[in-house]
């Protein structure tokens, strides 16, 4: 049975998940034999409407809740139930987890984790954990000191700390179980992405693409922290880990040896391709999916001579071994900073007369890709925002049809490239509703001028090689900087859109109540009709929203929606750091765009979790 069919077949209705949610408290889950429930537990919890056990709700990364107490008829009664300060400022990305009546809340640096007992209204703090980190981690973060969330599995909470340590905590007590050194902070290697637990392993990526970091995914034994495997984004095949039938169905996407051959000399060793985004997993195909970031440096002349594989690439890998079954590079020889790290959402779609197992990805380069998640075959690619760097994606070789005058060149200030390096979509994850068959996506309406510059690699120092000026879409003509859109993946076009004054940097939440939730950079949390996009409810919060909302059942059998409030991330960094107005190219172009849009006059720094319920 396909993922979408299975989801739609679940029982629905007014808190239907209460009994499965609360009959198994965390203490019982912890007592179960690990070998029996390493994966089955997360599959079961992900299917339980009352829980939110993974950052994306489930392995398919749909961010869809089957709860429907909060719906189009009742949403006008939605009120703040309670709030919780994280004790930190800067960008609050990701979302909390809810497992067995316990909510796990995280913060940006210093990466504090709280366990809240929801049975004690509104909550009681069970434990608090703040890792010991090197202060230099703050200066090594590429754009902000964000953290996209913790992972749960096998009775543990897994935290990726900014200074590069992966930490396993006892989910019941908060005690450290083990630590593993995933990154070397002295080289600019950090962790900002969320881990994921698959089988008896925890998988985690690495950040630092603007420091010459070589991207990779590592797998660790969830019980002991011992390394299982590491798969690099570029380099020799033995490092990249290619299966014998790699890209068998799509040889045009590349093959053996290209992890080095497509780079000049040994530039692949500094080649970026970092893995700071989101993971998804198909247990039937036994493949996990993710994307890799832009190549290093940003100056394409320093990487001239090939496609720079496998940066800006979508992947399907075996979790047990890390071996790649397929890979598809979306932006060969990238010259714009178009990371491919956004999520791949796993859905079953009827393409023509055939139901296909698909993965849908909204890329920074402005194109929405639908691929076969078993083979990487490209099924469709269409712009979901305004794009002028390419005329389209060729269906002959699946490569972009570039507009030559928009390609960045050393020493030349290329004007009016759309989208900007912030992307048509950045980290903000999309949601999918199996009832409407639509995706809901926060987007950026941004263009840029880009000047590629000479840069020399120094370990632990920025290795960028570009200077940016960022402004609104359609080459600066638009008066709005973002949109929240509904996307039809079969027709490959928008169903509706809402223009927003600022980029929509929050994640989306779709629910069985016919609603979609998202937040804005000036702090408005909104619920809209999933079919029409009509705004039905909104609430102003204390700071801008870059986090991802969740839905869960409380111990009172009532539905709640929760979201972080805390401005930050790339576009929000000028507000989070109170940067001066003078230099529009500061913060890699964010300063000029933020001040031009009026963001510093619209919100202030903050850091809290806000929980909503029906009055």
pLDDT by residue (tens digit) across 253-266? 999 999 999 999 99
Residues 6+ apart with CB under 8 A from 538: 524, 525, 526, 527
CA distance 502 to 514: 25
Phi, psi of 330 (to 5 degrees): -85, -35
Domains delineated in the chain: 3-614 (2.140.10.10)
Residues 6+ apart with CB under 8 A from 182: 160, 164, 165, 166, 189, 191, 204, 206, 218
CA distance 369 to 340: 11
Maximum C-alpha span of the chain: 64
What's this model's pTM, rounded to 2 decimal places?
Answer: 0.94
Phi, psi of 383 (to 5 degrees): -70, 135
For residue 408 the two structure tokens come to 């960045």
More confident position, 270 or 23: 270
**Angle between the N-to-C axes of helices 569-576 and 590-597, in degrees from 0 to 180, rounded to the nearest 10:** 80
For residue 239 the two structure tokens come to 């490092």
The pLDDT value recorded for residue 53 is 98
CA distance 591 to 614: 39
Residue 466 has pLDDT above 70, yes or no: yes
CA distance 367 to 369: 6
H or E, element range at 362 = strand 354-362
Coil/strand/helix, residue 268: helix
Across the range 198-203, mean pLDDT stands at 97
Coil/strand/helix, residue 523: coil
pLDDT in tens, 228-259: 999 999 999 999 999 999 999 999 999 999 99
Coil/strand/helix, residue 253: helix
CA distance 200 to 175: 20
pLDDT in tens, 509-535: 999 999 999 999 999 999 999 999 999
CA distance 274 to 371: 21
pLDDT in tens, 386-417: 999 999 999 999 999 999 999 999 999 999 99
Residue 18 has pLDDT above 90, yes or no: no
């Amino acid at each position: 049975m396909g993922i979408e069919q299975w989801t739609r077949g679940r029982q629905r209705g007014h808190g239907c998940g209460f009994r499965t949610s609360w009959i198994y408290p965390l203490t019982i889950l912890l007592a179960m034999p690990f070998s029996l429930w390493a994966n089955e537990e997360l599959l079961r919890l992900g299917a339980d409407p009352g829980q939110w056990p993974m950052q994306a709700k489930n392995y398919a990364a749909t961010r869809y809740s089957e709860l429907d107490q909060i719906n189009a008829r009742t949403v006008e009664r939605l009120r703040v139930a309670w709030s919780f300060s994280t004790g930190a400022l800067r960008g609050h990305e990701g979302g909390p987890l809810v497992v067995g009546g316990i909510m796990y809340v995280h913060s940006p640096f210093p990466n504090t984790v709280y366990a809240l007992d929801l049975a004690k209204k509104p909550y009681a703090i069970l434990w608090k954990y703040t890792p010991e980190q090197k202060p230099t981690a703050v200066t090594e973060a590429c754009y902000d000191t964000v953290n996209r969330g913790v992972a749960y599995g096998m009775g543990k909470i897994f935290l990726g700390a900014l200074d590069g340590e992966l930490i396993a905590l006892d989910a019941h007590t908060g005690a450290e179980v083990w630590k593993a050194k995933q990154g070397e902070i002295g080289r600019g290697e950090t962790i900002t992405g969320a881990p994921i637990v698959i089988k008896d392993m925890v998988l985690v990526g690495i950040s630092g693409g603007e420091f010459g970091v070589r991207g990779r995914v590592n797998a660790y034994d969830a019980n002991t922290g011992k390394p299982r495997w590491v798969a690099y984004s570029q380099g020799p095949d033995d490092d990249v880990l290619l299966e014998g039938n790699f890209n068998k169905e799509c040889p045009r996407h590349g093959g053996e040896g290209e992890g080095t051959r497509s780079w000049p000399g040994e530039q692949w060793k500094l080649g970026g391709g970092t893995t700071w985004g989101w993971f998804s997993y198909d247990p039937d195909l036994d493949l996990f999916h993710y994307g890799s970031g832009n190549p290093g440096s940003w100056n394409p002349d320093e990487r001239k001579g090939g496609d720079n594989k496998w940066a800006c690439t979508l992947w399907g890998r075996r979790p047990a071994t890390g071996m790649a079954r397929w890979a598809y590079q979306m932006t060969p020889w990238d010259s714009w900073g178009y990371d491919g790290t956004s999520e791949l959402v796993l859905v079953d779609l009827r393409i023509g007369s055939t139901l296909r197992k698909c993965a849908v990805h909204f890329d920074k380069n402005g194109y929405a890709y639908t691929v076969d998640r078993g083979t990487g075959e490209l099924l469709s690619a269409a712009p979901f925002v305004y794009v002028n760097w390419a005329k389209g994606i060729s269906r002959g070789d699946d490569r972009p049809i570039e507009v030559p005058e928009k390609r960045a060149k050393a020493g030349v200030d290329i004007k009016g490239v759309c989208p900007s390096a912030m992307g048509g979509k950045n980290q903000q994850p999309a949601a999918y509703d199996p009832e409407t068959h639509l995706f809901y996506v926060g987007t950026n309406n941004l263009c840029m001028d880009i000047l590629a510059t000479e840069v020399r690699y120094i370990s632990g120092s920025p290795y960028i090689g570009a200077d940016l000026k960022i402004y609104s879409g359609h080459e600066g003509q638009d008066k709005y900087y973002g949109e929240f859109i509904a996307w039809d993946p079969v027709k490959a076009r928008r169903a509706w859109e809402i223009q927003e004054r600022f980029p929509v940097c929050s994640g989306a939440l779709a629910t069985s109540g016919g609603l979609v939730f998202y937040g804005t950079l000036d702090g408005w949390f909104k619920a809209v009709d999933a079919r029409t996009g009509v705004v039905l409810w909104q609430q102003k919060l204390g700071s801008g929203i870059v986090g991802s909302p969740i839905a869960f059942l409380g111990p009172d059998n009532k539905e709640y929606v929760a979201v972080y409030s805390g401005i930050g991330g790339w576009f929000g960094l000028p507000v989070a750091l109170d940067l001066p107005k003078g230099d529009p190219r500061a913060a890699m172009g964010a300063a000029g765009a933020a001040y031009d849009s009026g963001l510093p006059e619209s919100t202030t720094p903050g850091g809290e979790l806000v929980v909503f319920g029906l009055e």
